Amino acid sequence: MIVDRTRALEVLIGLPDVEFVGLDDSGTVLRIVIERQGVRPSCRSCGTLALGKGRRDVELVDLPAFGRPTAIVFRKHRWMCPTASCRVGSWTAQDPRIAAPRAVMTDRCARWCTREVGEYGRPVSDLAKVLGCDWHTVNDTVIRYGEALLDADTDRVGATRALGLDETLFARVGRYRQQCWSTQIVDVEHGVLLDIVEGRSAQEPCRWLANREAAWLAGVAYGTIDLTGVYRSVFDTMLPGAILIADPFHVVRVANRYLDECRRRVQNQTVGHRGRKSDPLYRARRRLTMARERLSESQHERMLGLLRAGDPHQEVWFAWNAKEVVRQTYDHVDHALAVEWVDAIERDFADREMPIEVRKLGRTIGRWKQQIVAWHRARFTNAPTEAINNLVKRVKRVAFGFRRFQNYRVRALLYAGRPNWHLLADITP
């Protein structure tokens, strides 16, 4: 047990090799004045023992104490070289264990903020309020330490067997709220966010892949995307040997989109206006996009009755059956049978008797035939990428939006990139 009050306060402060000088609790912020212990240093150039040149107080934001914002007033020694010919002149003593040079926050507080914001997703504004400092003080510290952690964690981007790409709206900027997008690069097999690049074009993902080692690229056997030609070109250019898989959810989504287009066209042709709540096709719109097995018998009969009333040439009915046929592609477990099924879809949907939307759907299925049936080999989907997108959007919601891509990227990687947080205690920004 420690009975010396000064020693007890030094332990409570928890900073190494410092001497407690005083305490100021007159204001809102609790200020603890400390001074570094140690011997007189020598000049780093000529080796002569330095002479004292006074002290300078530097106030550093520290962890709160007993529910109050706390600041460490670090009384730094200033030294000068007594040798007139020495070029060093004077300098201020530094202690990186207390705070980095030109820092406004103690090192231990900076690491605490980085973990609170990065791993637990706390808002920067909340920490700034708790610490009694400015928002930029916390944010700049988190970004600086976060970048150092991500750079130090060289094992975070490990061997990847399945790679997924997807886009997310990053920000709306300017007078006309121009949309700025970002592309998430995800390890689909392990559900880890590898990196985020600007835009949703092929250029930045290709540049990111070009910076990977050849052995890492050779280990990527599968790629998962939605039906986007841009990301397809990324894999064709940088990973030609990887098997590209079209995400099943997006394939069915395309079929539903063409079904909706057919329903709206028939609606306008038959009644001359957009759907109203009394129109049969408008009343059937939700049942049409539902899976057949999710409809009860009464719901199915009611949907068919609405189609008989509002679909005189059975075009919507054909589009609904086409959607169900596309869905049945994923009922097969055999790859060869799936290839035959998709070939039949492409052939049958091209019939001139089919509605124009069904023919468009058939051409889309034909263009993506190899990527659709590839799912039956590996069963990888883009679902982990979509889950990572939800985590990234949560970071964006907590921050109430971002203005700088660097802040967005670092905070998203800290939250969804699974860095090794044990390294945080050893990194130096």
Distance separating alpha carbons of residues 72 and 33, to the nearest angstrom:
6
Distance separating alpha carbons of residues 217 and 231, to the nearest angstrom:
16
pLDDT for position 16: 63
Predicted TM-score of the model (pTM): 0.88
| Residue 39: band (very low, low, confident or very high) from pLDDT cuts 50, 70, 90 | confident
**Would 109 be classed as within a structural domain?**
yes
> Looking at the structure, do residues 143 and 16 belong to the same domain, yes or no?
yes
**Would 202 be classed as within a structural domain?**
no
**Would 424 be classed as within a structural domain?**
no
Phi and psi for 222 in degrees, rounded to 5?
-135, 150
Average pLDDT over the chain, rounded to an integer: 92
Chain-centroid distance of CA 50 in Å reads: 50
> Looking at the structure, do residues 131 and 256 belong to the same domain, yes or no?
no
pLDDT for position 290: 95
- Nearest CA to 124 among 415, 427, 337? 415
Mean pLDDT lowest among 23-27, 93-97, 170-174: 93-97
Domain boundary at 91, 123, 150, which? Answer: 150
**Would 135 be classed as within a structural domain?**
yes
| One-letter identity of residue 304 | L
> Looking at the structure, do residues 141 and 13 belong to the same domain, yes or no?
yes
| Residue 2: band (very low, low, confident or very high) from pLDDT cuts 50, 70, 90 | low
**Would 359 be classed as within a structural domain?**
yes
Give the tokens for residue 289: 């996009």
**Would 415 be classed as within a structural domain?**
no
Name the 3-class secondary structure at 281.
helix
> How many other C-beta atoms are found inside a 10 Å radius of the C-beta of residue 297?
7
**Would 17 be classed as within a structural domain?**
yes
Contact 389, 166 (CB under 8 A): yes
Residue 120: give the domain boundaries.
5-150
pLDDT one-digit tens code per residue, 362-412: 999 999 999 999 999 999 999 999 999 999 999 999 999 899 999 999 999
Q: Which is higher by pLDDT, 38 or 278?
A: 278
How many domains in the chain?
2
Q: What percent of the chain has a predicted confidence (pLDDT) above 90?
A: 74
Mean pLDDT lowest among 72-86, 160-174, 224-238: 72-86
Q: Which is higher by pLDDT, 46 or 291?
A: 291
> Looking at the structure, do residues 146 and 11 belong to the same domain, yes or no?
yes
Mean pLDDT of 2-17: 67
pLDDT one-digit tens code per residue, 313-344: 999 999 999 999 999 999 988 999 999 999 99
pLDDT for position 13: 66
**Would 333 be classed as within a structural domain?**
yes
Domain boundary at 150, 177, 201, which? Answer: 150
Domain boundary at 150, 173, 203, which? Answer: 150
